Amino acid sequence: MKRVLLFVPLLTACGRGGFSQKAAASETPTVTWAIRNDLKSLDPIRANEENTASVLGEVVETLIKIDPEGKVEQGLASSWKLDGTTLTLILGDATFSDGTPVTAADVEASLERAVDERLLPQETSVYLGDVRSVEAKDPKTVVIRLKGPSRTILSKLSSPQVAILPARLRNKPIVKPEDLVGSGPYRLTEYRPSQRAVLEPNPHWRGPLPLKRIEVVPITDPASLLNRFRAGDVDLLQVASSDVGTILDAKDLKPQAVLLPTTKFVYLLFQPAAYPALKDVRVRRAIAMALDRKKLAEELVRGEAHVAGRFLPSGLAPDAAMLPPYDPAGARRLLAEAGYPDGKGLPPLTFGFNEANKLNPIVEFVPTSLKTTLGITVRTRSLLAFLDEVQKGRLPMGLSGWGAPYPDPQAVLSVLLRSDSATNYSGYASPAFDAADAKAQRTGLLADYEVAERIAAADVPILPLYSQPKVWLVSPRLGSVALSTYGSPDFSKAALKP
């Protein structure tokens, strides 16, 4: 009976065409995986958002994987050798879902495709910025030549944005399910924007796949999402940071929660290009000092939220007090020094956030705090296309988050704050920071990264608020799904319980 409640209403509501199709779908045991927003793209090179990367990561594979402990392991590459600035990888045996083998020519074409500006890749330079050239030496051997020594090149090759596709897709944008051909365990057989995506086994996968159908459903309303999980309509979901406290306080949900170490933090993004007053570091520091981040993390967000004292989240570095402390009086003095006593002369400050965060306590906390302490009027703006607005540099202040895609300080500091980084959405440009960061990238020492981190903390180009464990809710009927801080859920040993 539970299966009827799980699947029939969901399939009917989505308007699946044809009675025979509905009957066939209902006879296939289905896992329902809920995500907090719709897929941003079906093209891996544009998978720069967590939910999109997780789903597409079931379809495509990368040369390297990161295991749950953050260690590099085999992906499509069965072995490798890094000799100075030359990385040689040997491919194992893998087959795309169309039945063609994965070869070095596919790797060469895929990595070239990932940086082809004609295809509008987004931030792939974060992962391939170290690469000078890629060459297929023979069907199984790939040689990647680097611009200089790189400690993290292997980790960077684990991103879905640099996944390996058939060489024939080199110049083709991927916009439909049939366009997406990967060597991962599943293939995308259906995609209806804002309704669902359907994953079914890759017939050429290297082993048995117990799950025959995974339905990915975007549900943006947090209350609806939790209600549907409670009702058994949803089997798997990653919990939004604003809901973690609710989950861990709920006796019926906490036993089904899986907590993972995190490299993610939630932060305020400043875009001075859209609000010139933010170009003054005193204004940014005043905003930082006007917000009681400890109260926000411990009283409002809860759920094991850890107040941010620095840029590096708790999963990458120990606590340290680097960011401006909560100091309302000091904040008012700084704002007055900048020429805006009690906020006079400042136009309303737009504060944007993703639609899925509309119930996040930060949405009310930030405007109220800035108005009460500094006299700044803040206008909130809920956005369905939050990331698009950020990438265009049009959002004065935004509620954002970042999870390091690999376990290294570089994946936070260098990626978000270097002046030449494609994901430096604040537009921060500090020669002192860049120089310190460059040294840290060479040595890999946390102490060297902390030198760069303190420079940025004084400038406050962005304001970290808190970090928190990554939390998944897993239905009791879904067993043995492997979840990791890095990468997509592993369904290869998962099973549905009767």
pLDDT band at 27 (very low <50, low <70, confident <90, very high): low
pLDDT at position 305: 84
User: At residue 82, does pLDDT exceed 70?
Assistant: yes
Domains and CATH numbers, the chain: 2-35+185-260+470-496 (3.40.190.10), 64-169 (3.90.76.10), 264-467 (3.10.105.10)
8 A C-beta contact, residue 357 and residue 383: no
268 closest CA partner among 465, 24, 482, 21: 465
Query: d(Cα 62, Cα 69) in Å, to the nearest integer?
Result: 18
Strand, coil or helix: what is 11? Answer: helix
Cα angle 199-204-210, degrees, rounded to a multiple of 5: 55
Q: What is the mean pLDDT of residues 418-439?
A: 95
pLDDT tens digits, one per residue of 117-128: 888 776 788 899
pLDDT at 432 over 50: yes
What stretches of 202-290 show up as alpha helix (H) in DSSP? 222-230, 244-249, 281-290
d(CA 463, CA 269): 7
Residue 75 or 383, more confident: 75
| Through-space distance between the first and last CA atoms of the chain, rounded to whole angstroms | 10
User: Has this prediction a pTM greater than 0.95?
Assistant: no
pLDDT tens-digit readout, 142-154: 999 999 999 999 9
Is residue 26 pLDDT above 60, yes or no?
no
Contact (Cβ atoms closer than 8 angstroms) between residue 163 and residue 110: yes
- Strand segments, DSSP code E, in 140-222 are 141-146, 186-192, 196-201, 214-218
- Looking only at the bridges linking them, the beta strands covering 462-467 and 306-307 are antiparallel
Confidence of residue 220 (pLDDT cuts 50, 70, 90): confident
292-349 per-position pLDDT tens digit: 999 999 888 877 788 999 999 888 899 999 999 999 999 999 999 999 999 999 999 9
Residue 16 scores a pLDDT above 60? no
- Residue 298 structure tokens: 């411990």
Helix (H, G, I), strand (E, B) or coil at 77: strand
Lowest mean per-residue pLDDT among 20-29, 56-65, 140-149, 360-369: 20-29
| C-alpha dist (Å) from residue 396 to 264, 390, 416 | 22, 9, 17
Q: What is the pLDDT of residue 24?
A: 44
Distance between CA atoms of 371 and 102, rounded to whole angstroms? 57
- CA neighbours closer than 13 Å in the CB half-sphere of residue 341: 0
Average of per-residue pLDDT across 423-440: 96
303 touches 248 (CB < 8 A): yes
Amino acid at 442: R
pLDDT tens column, 385-428: 888 899 899 999 999 989 888 889 999 999 999 999 989 999 99
Mean pLDDT for the chain overall: 90
Convert the pLDDT of each residue in 227-239 to its tens digit.
Answer: 999 999 999 999 8
Angle at 162 between CA 158 and CA 167, to 5 degrees: 130
Which residue type, as a one-letter code, is found at position 314?
Answer: S
Strand partners, 91: 77
Task: Give the pLDDT band of residue 476 (cuts 50, 70, 90).
Answer: very high
| 271 vs 294: CA distance, rounded Å | 24
> Can you give the pLDDT at residue 469?
84
Chain-centroid distance of CA 63 in Å reads: 19
Cβ atoms within 10 Å of 113's Cβ, excluding its own: 25
CA dihedral 310, 314, 318, 324 (to 10 degrees): 20
Q: Which of 180-194, 339-353, 395-409, 427-441 has the lowest mean pLDDT?
A: 395-409
Task: Report the amino acid identity of residue 259.
Answer: L
Q: What percent of the chain has pLDDT over 70?
A: 94
Residue 20 has pLDDT above 70, yes or no: no
Q: What is the CA radius of gyration of the chain?
A: 23
Residues 6+ apart with CB under 8 A from 467: 262, 264, 265, 266, 305, 306, 308, 313, 314, 315
Is 14 a residue whose pLDDT tops 70?
no
**Of 176-190, 398-412, 434-448, which gets the smallest average pLDDT?**
398-412
Does residue 241 or residue 364 have the better pLDDT? 364
CB-based contact 409:317 (threshold 8 Å) = yes
State how far the Cα of 388 lies from the Cα of 354, in Å rounded to an integer: 11
The Cα-based distances of 140 to 63, 109, 137, 159, 167 in angstroms read 12, 14, 8, 21, 14
